Chain A
Amino acid sequence: MSEDLQKLIDEAVKKALAGDDEAINGIEDRVTRAKAKAALVKAKREQPNASEKSSTSESNEEQPAVENSENVTSKITKMLDYKFSDCLDGELHSDFIQLKPEYWFEIAKFLKEDPDAYFDSLQCNTGFDLGDGMLESRYNLHSMKHLHSIEIRIKVNIDNPDIPSVESIWRVADWFERETYDMFGINFTGHRDLRRILLPEDWDGWPLRKDYEEQETYHGIVVPKVKEGWE
Chain B
Amino acid sequence: MGVVHGQEMVLNIGPQHPATHGVLRLQVKTDGEVISEITPYLGYLHRCFEKHCENVSYEQVIPFTDRCDYLASMTMNFGYVVAMEQLMDIKVNDRVEYIRVIMAELQRIASHLLAIGVFGLDLGAFTPFLHMLRDRERIIDLFEMTCGARLLYNYMWVGGLSHDLPKGFVEATLNFLDYFEPKVDEFENLLGHNKIFVERTADIGIMPAEVAINYGVTGPNLRASGVNWDLRKDNPYSVYSKLDFNVPVGKGIKGTVGDSWDRFYVRLQEIRESVKIVRQAIDQLPKDGDVHQSMPKKIRPPKGSIYSRTESPRGDLGYYIESDGSDTPYRLKMRSPAFTALGVLNEIAGGWLMSDVLAILGSLDIVLGEIDR
Contacts and interface: CB of A to CB of B under 8 A. Distances in A.
Co-assembled chains A and B = yes
Secondary structure of the B contact surface, majority rule: mixed
B252 to A, nearest CB: 11
Interface of B: 42-43, 46, 48, 50-52, 54-56, 170-171, 174-175, 177-178, 209, 213-216, 226-229, 234-235, 244, 246-249, 251, 276, 279-280, 282-283, 307, 309, 316, 318, 320, 322, 331, 333, 335, 339-340, 343, 347, 372-373
Interface string A32-57: 01110110011001000001110111
A98 to B, nearest CB: 13
B318 A59 contact: no
Interface stretch (A11-19, A74-82, A101-109, A167-175): A167-175
Contacts of B276: 41
Contact of B343 (A45, A59, A172, A227): A172
A92 B350 CA distance: 45
B335 A123 contact: yes
A59 B228 contact: yes
Given A57-B226, A66-B235, A198-B373, A41 B244 contact: yes
A120 B244 contact: no
A60 interface: yes
Contact of A34 (B43, B228, B279): B279
Secondary structure of the A contact surface, majority rule: mixed
A124 B335 contact: yes
A6 interface: no
A171 B43 contact: no
B356 to A, nearest CB: 21
A52 B320 CA distance: 33
A227 B56 CA distance: 11
Nearest to A147: B234
B51 A208 contact: yes
Given A33-B178, A175-B340, A52 B248 contact: yes
Contact of A124 (B52, B249, B318): B318
A198 B46 contact: yes
B216 A197 contact: no
B246 A51 contact: yes
A10 interface: no
A30 interface: yes
Contacts of A55: 249, 251
A175 B215 CA distance: 10
Given A51-B246, A126-B320, A170 B214 contact: yes
Given A37-B279, A41-B244, 5 more contacts: A38-B279, A57-B228, A121-B216, A208-B50, A208-B54
A35 B335 CA distance: 38
Contacts of B316: 123
